[in-house]
A and B are shown apart, each in its own frame.
Chain A
Amino acid sequence: GENVEQHPSTLSVQEGDSAVIKCTYSDSASNYFPWYKQELGKRPQLIIDIRSNVGEKKDQRIAVTLNKTAKHFSLHITETQPEDSAVYFCAASCKGAGNQFYFGTGTSLTVIP
């Protein structure tokens, strides 16, 4: 099955700086890669996703890049704000095969005011 690895496990940045979280996956059949943000005690919320037919997607301060050859994808948050502090999870799935998500182990991001 799919194996998703995520780094770093914790990340602290100064407010206004950028944050980058990286994930790798093992199954070349995976073709959909969502990112979820989870605040303490809350549900995971989808913040951005990318499909395998594109290499980059941007939504305001958040961007995701995908390198299919290397089987890795990254989340980039620019101009970080204290409210960006949360745990971020990457995931990979093979659409058409039930859309089961394989999640990474999470990155705890702290934005220091």
Chain B
Amino acid sequence: GAGVSQTPSNKVTEKGKYVELRCDPISGHTALYWYRQSLGQGPEFLIYFQGTGAADDSGLPNDRFFAVRPEGSVSTLKIQRTERGDSAVYLCASSLSGGGYTFGSGTRLTVV
């Protein structure tokens, strides 16, 4: 596609529920990144995919967070047993290997 697409744009969920956030990167971009941005802060790295494999998942805060990219394009970030502290904007970005990022518009997750 023309840009990085993220769905949904907004998600409100109850504490304890499971959520999935989707990212559709720019066609041909091999690298895909997930970041989390809290209010008034810079984006914080979560996980990086090169192709289908998670090359670096050191930013995932705990084992409630998991991400997949089974075919090397679309990625899904999965959060189990959501907590209020998970509320943030989740940003996806893609790049040709080694290039600057193009960010998606993000998914604003609110856990109530």
How many pairs of A and B residues are in contact by the CB < 8 Å rule?
A: 54
Question: Which A65-113 residues sit within 8 Å CB-CB of chain B?
Answer: 89, 91, 95-96, 98-106
Residues of A within 8 A of B59 (CB): 100
Binds A, one of B18-26, B73-81, B96-104: B96-104
Interface residue ranges, B against A (CB under 8 Å): 31, 33, 35, 40-45, 48, 50, 55-56, 59, 91, 95, 97-98, 100-106
Which A residues lie at the B interface, using CB under 8 A?
Answer: 4, 6, 34, 36, 42-46, 49, 89, 91, 95-96, 98-106
Extra pairs beyond A43-B91, A100-B48 (13, CB < 8 Å): A4-B42, A43-B106, A44-B43, A44-B91, A46-B100, A46-B101, A89-B42, A98-B55, A99-B48, A100-B56, A101-B45, A102-B45, A104-B42
